[in-house]
Amino acid sequence: MNVLKRLLRQNEAYLGVLIVVLCIVITIANPSFLTFENIAGFLKSYSMIGIMAVGTLFVLILGGTPDVSFTAIAQVVEYAVVVMTLAFGGNIFVAILAAAIMGTIMGLVNGFVIHYFRVPTIIVTIATFNIYFGMMYVITRGKLINNIPIMFKQFGNVLLFPTQSKIGGTYGLSLHPLIWLAALLIGWFILRRTFLGRSIYAMGGNEVAAERVGIRTMWTRVFVFAFVGLLSGVAGVVHVSIVQSVVPNIIVGKELEVIAAVVIGGASVFGGRGTITGTFLGVLLFAILNNGLTLLSISSYWYNVTIGVVITTAITVSAYQQLRQSRTRVNVKIEA
Amino acid sequence: MEEFLQLRDIRKSFVGVYALKGVDFSIRPNEIHCLVGENGSGKSTLIKIISGVLQPDSGEIFVEGRKMDHMEAAASLARGIHVIYQDLSLFPNLSVAENIALSEIEEIGRSLIDWRQVHSIARAAMERIKVDIPLEALVGELPIGLQQLVAICRALTSDLKLLILDEPTASLTKHDIDNLLRVVRDMQQAGIAVMFVSHKLNEIFEVAERITVLRDGVSVGTLPREELTNEKLVGLMTGKTITETRFAFEAMPEAGQPLLEVRGLSKKNNFADISFSLSAGEIVGITGVIGSGRTELALALFGISPADEGEILVDGKRVTVRNVQDAVDAGIAYVPENRLVQGLIMKQSVADNIIASVLKRILTPLRLIDPQQRRHRVEEWVEALGIKVSDADVPVQTLSGGNQQRVVIAKWLATNPKILILDGPTVGIIRELAGRGMGVLLISDEVGEVVTNCNRILLMRSGRIRSEIRAEGIHADEVQRLVEAGA
């Protein structure tokens, strides 16, 4: 009974139910939703958002305002890695490693500035967003790259469980969702099983108290932003291996969608709360919504409207619950 | 018995102003010791010196007989000295188990978390003081009394020798306090010294073996409990012998109907069937323990959480109070218990805080704020209330507690209220305000203050007014007994 109550209280349960209902509705309207081909497809196209969401979750738990520079980091890294591999060759592993390192460095810059100058995250990251993204344009003049090295295409075309489709092509599970899964597992392990992860929650709950129990707040904060940078770098490589060309402004602009998915997943914008499961479900909800609209032949312009409605409903419901709680709270036991 | 901690002639100054000018203090192992003093007497500075957060300018500190040349925070902790501040320093978003065990896990220095270990550390600490709080509960969802026990359990995970509790009873109910005192006695049995720090006389005095009084940065005496009477203590704290002149109410000659009349006011889960009246020039006290509904009643009268049913009449006319603006329009002002959260915008200037409640009244025809009127109003109130500030444009947070209090009062007096509700703080000027024809409701659990400053006292218990007492001729102890009997 107690377990059931706890489960019902959790945001994840609501989200899970919502997703199941949505899946049923879409499947009734168009049975091709619930096929391996379709599911593998939308998981692949949401891998980049999913990887970035793990980083955003860390930032929201740490507390303060969200980071908005991670899409610029992914964009810059994507461009730089492609340019570098075009010039020097290498293989996909070297490319991912290089992307991770570049991303981490840009994240470290964010972390140090935020910690040492005590500037709100959103201000610092708006600034660095413009610096990173702007510098890329200054150097590249916004040139598109269509002939990307073959390694990204090869990596993007690897299929697990390849299956022949009726109309002749081959489909299967690509590697991108597996990288997303790896990001989720690493994120879960850090948050749940390491002292560092618990320190992030502790700082989000009460930073002064965290310092008093001996948590190294500087190192913890810098780690979070470096981790966001690392994930963004990897997300950049994932993206280029999916779209197989570099359009220098295609990733930026996704940051609000990522933050929204994490918030829908139950992370508190006031810090200290949020889970990997919730974040995964939040991204999954967006992926299914997007895919569902396509399958129901509804214009993709409705996607943004739907997301807006979902977010508004979610925050209104939780605010209403809190209001009701405060109204029915017993302040004084009145005697007859 | 040898002292666990001894301080000799501790002095400390901040930018030329002395906070401590000669403090002697000592505490024996497993002693329960109270440190009392009014706000600004140097209690917090002394705690910070004991905990190693601040270094004294001069003086000697001995721990277990050994002189400490330089006591840093880590050294103090290593000697088993632990402070629980008023804010408790807990993590509201984490479980009870984690709150208790986190500092110990940090100490052990393991980078991976073993949840069984977290739980066993927490369980062991709770067993030591015989409390049982669900390990998985979120601390932020616990009542304040249990949160306090969680903070104590966390201190117990280290090798605790001296626990310092800063204002521990400030927002606890009678039941919580009893529970806390039981825990403290248990710790005493286990050889842990406990130091209570407080600015008022309360329950904890009963368990203290010795009491040290601070006044203006000087320790004016350490006395065993038996030798101390209330009057002696107040005398030591204030430096004055109390010649208490009681408030004498004289009905205004022209006053016909009461200024404020409340009939059958009720709010579910807060209070029920409250009826009373307040005349111009009266000071009426409302007293009762925490959880009796006294503050909830004030919040309803001021429209913060409005009542469900009943009538409020001002000057004989029925008013509807659904929100704060309604109350202000009806001529009601409210100075809250907690000035930090309810009364002031800490980062804004003294001037802006004072005019915040009367912005609409100082507008030019173009509906912009008139700078001359603004300055005029601010100067008037800074002077009237004697707010010590060099420049009214400095942020409120830079002021001392007492001056912040005056700013809150100035802010509400600026609205020119007929009825003033004071929750908690008593201020010197209330008699003068009453003399000018204002009606004052003084909500407080400090019976002594209520008895001296009011002409009538309403006693609340379990959400209802249980009795009305005329303050004239009654002794504070008698009222205290009535309050406690009601708990």
ipTM of the complex: 0.88
Contacts of B361 (CB under 8 A, 6+ apart): none
A1 interfaces chain B, CB cutoff of 8 Å: no
B461 interfaces chain A, CB cutoff of 8 Å: yes
Q: What residue type is assigned to position A181 of the chain?
A: L
Nearest neighbour of B112 by CB, restricted to A194, A215, A330 = A194
B269 interfaces chain A, CB cutoff of 8 Å: yes
Contact between A332 and B113 using a beta-carbon 8 Å cutoff: no
Nearest residue of chain B to residue A274 (CA atoms):
B93
B486 interfaces chain A, CB cutoff of 8 Å: no
Q: What residue type is assigned to position B216 of the chain?
A: D
B200 interfaces chain A, CB cutoff of 8 Å: no
B110 interfaces chain A, CB cutoff of 8 Å: yes
Residue with more model confidence, A198 or B381: A198
CA neighbor of B315 nearest in space, from B254, B272, B273, B266: B254
Cβ density class A67-103: b for 16+ within 10 Å, e for less: bbbbbbbbbbbbbbbbbbbeeeeeebeebbbbbbebb
B271 interfaces chain A, CB cutoff of 8 Å: yes
A333 interfaces chain B, CB cutoff of 8 Å: yes
Q: Count chain A–chain B contacts defined by CB atoms under 8 A.
A: 88
What's the rounded mean pLDDT across residues A254-264?
Answer: 92
- CA R_g for chain A: 21
B291 interfaces chain A, CB cutoff of 8 Å: yes
| Tens-digit pLDDT string for chain B (487 aa) | 588 999 999 998 876 677 888 999 999 998 999 998 877 788 888 999 999 888 999 999 999 988 888 788 888 888 999 999 888 899 999 999 999 999 999 888 889 999 999 999 999 999 988 889 999 999 988 888 899 999 999 999 988 999 999 888 777 777 888 889 999 999 999 899 999 998 776 677 778 899 999 988 889 989 898 888 777 877 888 776 655 677 877 776 666 788 999 999 999 889 999 999 999 889 999 998 878 888 899 999 999 889 999 999 999 999 999 998 999 999 999 888 765 556 788 888 889 988 888 888 888 888 898 999 899 889 888 888 877 777 888 888 777 666 777 888 888 888 889 999 988 766 667 787 888 888 999 998 778 788 888 889 999 988 999 989 888 888 878 888 888 776 4
Q: How far apart are CA A269 and CA A312, in angstroms?
A: 15
Q: How many angstroms separate the CA of residue B379 from the nearest CA in chain A?
A: 35
**Residue that is written with structure tokens 């489709």 in the block:** A165
Q: Residue A225, SS3? A: helix
Nearest neighbour of A194 by CB, restricted to B103, B107, B111 = B111
Q: How far apart are CA B451 and CA B430, in angstroms?
A: 14
CA neighbor of A99 nearest in space, from A64, A48, A56, A61: A48
Nearest neighbour of B271 by CB, restricted to A196, A201, A334 = A334
Which pLDDT score, from 0 to 100, does residue A127 have?
Answer: 96
Q: H or E stretch including A324?
A: helix A301-328
Chain A residues in contact with B89 (beta carbon < 8 A): 206, 208-209, 212-213
Q: Which of residues 220-279 of A touch B (CB under 8 A)?
A: 268, 271-273
Contact between B113 and A208 using a beta-carbon 8 Å cutoff: no
CA neighbor of A205 nearest in space, from B205, B201, B102: B102
Q: Residue A296, SS3? A: coil
Q: Residue A307, SS3? A: helix
A213 interfaces chain B, CB cutoff of 8 Å: yes
CA neighbor of B484 nearest in space, from B463, B467, B461: B461
User: How many CA atoms does the CB half-sphere of A128 hold within 13 Å?
Assistant: 30
Q: How many angstroms separate the CA of residue A211 from the nearest CA in chain B?
A: 10
> Which long-range contacts link A296-302 to residues 24+ away (Cβ below 8 Å)?
A296/A26, A296/A29, A296/A30
B17 interfaces chain A, CB cutoff of 8 Å: no
Which pLDDT score, from 0 to 100, does residue B252 have?
Answer: 65
Contact between A214 and B107 using a beta-carbon 8 Å cutoff: yes
B105 interfaces chain A, CB cutoff of 8 Å: yes
CA neighbor of B140 nearest in space, from A272, A46, A38, A55: A272
B108 interfaces chain A, CB cutoff of 8 Å: no
Contact between B270 and A208 using a beta-carbon 8 Å cutoff: no
Contact between B106 and A214 using a beta-carbon 8 Å cutoff: yes
Contact between A332 and B270 using a beta-carbon 8 Å cutoff: yes
Q: How far apart are CA A203 and CA A271, in angstroms?
A: 8
Cβ(B259)–Cβ(B315) under 8 Å? yes
Q: H or E stretch including A160?
A: strand A159-164
Q: How far apart are CA B311 and CA B260, in angstroms?
A: 11
CA neighbor of A197 nearest in space, from A228, A226, A179, A224: A224
Which pLDDT score, from 0 to 100, does residue B401 have?
Answer: 65
| pTM summary value | 0.84
Residue A298: phi and psi, rounded to 5, are -100, 140
Band (A1; pLDDT cuts 50, 70, 90)? very low
**Residue that is written with structure tokens 């001002």 in the block:** B314
Q: What residue type is assigned to position B24 of the chain?
A: D
User: How many CA atoms does the CB half-sphere of B456 hold within 13 Å?
Assistant: 16
A291 burial type by CB count under 10 A (0-12 exposed, 13-18 middle, 19+ buried): buried
Cβ(A246)–Cβ(A81) under 8 Å? no
Nearest residue of chain B to residue A215 (CA atoms):
B106
Token duo for residue B386: 């004697």
Band (A317; pLDDT cuts 50, 70, 90)? confident
Residue B430: phi and psi, rounded to 5, are -65, -35
CA neighbor of B453 nearest in space, from B249, B236, B201: B249
Nearest residue of chain A to residue B292 (CA atoms):
A332
Cβ(A246)–Cβ(A148) under 8 Å? yes
Which pLDDT score, from 0 to 100, does residue B428 have?
Answer: 65
Nearest neighbour of B296 by CB, restricted to A194, A272, A331 = A331
Nearest neighbour of B94 by CB, restricted to A205, A215, A333 = A205
Nearest neighbour of B462 by CB, restricted to A202, A205, A333 = A333
What's the rounded mean pLDDT across residues A164-179?
Answer: 87
Chain B residues in contact with A328 (beta carbon < 8 A): 269
**Residue that is written with structure tokens 């955003």 in the block:** A56
Contacts of B14 (CB under 8 A, 6+ apart): none
Q: What residue type is assigned to position B142 of the chain?
A: L
Residue with more model confidence, A190 or B178: A190
A118 interfaces chain B, CB cutoff of 8 Å: no
Nearest neighbour of B94 by CB, restricted to A201, A330, A335 = A201
Which pLDDT score, from 0 to 100, does residue B487 have?
Answer: 47
Token duo for residue A220: 């913890």
Q: How many angstroms separate the CA of residue B113 from the nearest CA in chain A?
A: 5
A265-312 pLDDT, tens digit each: 988 888 999 999 999 999 999 999 999 999 999 988 898 898 888 888
Contacts of A5 (CB under 8 A, 6+ apart): none
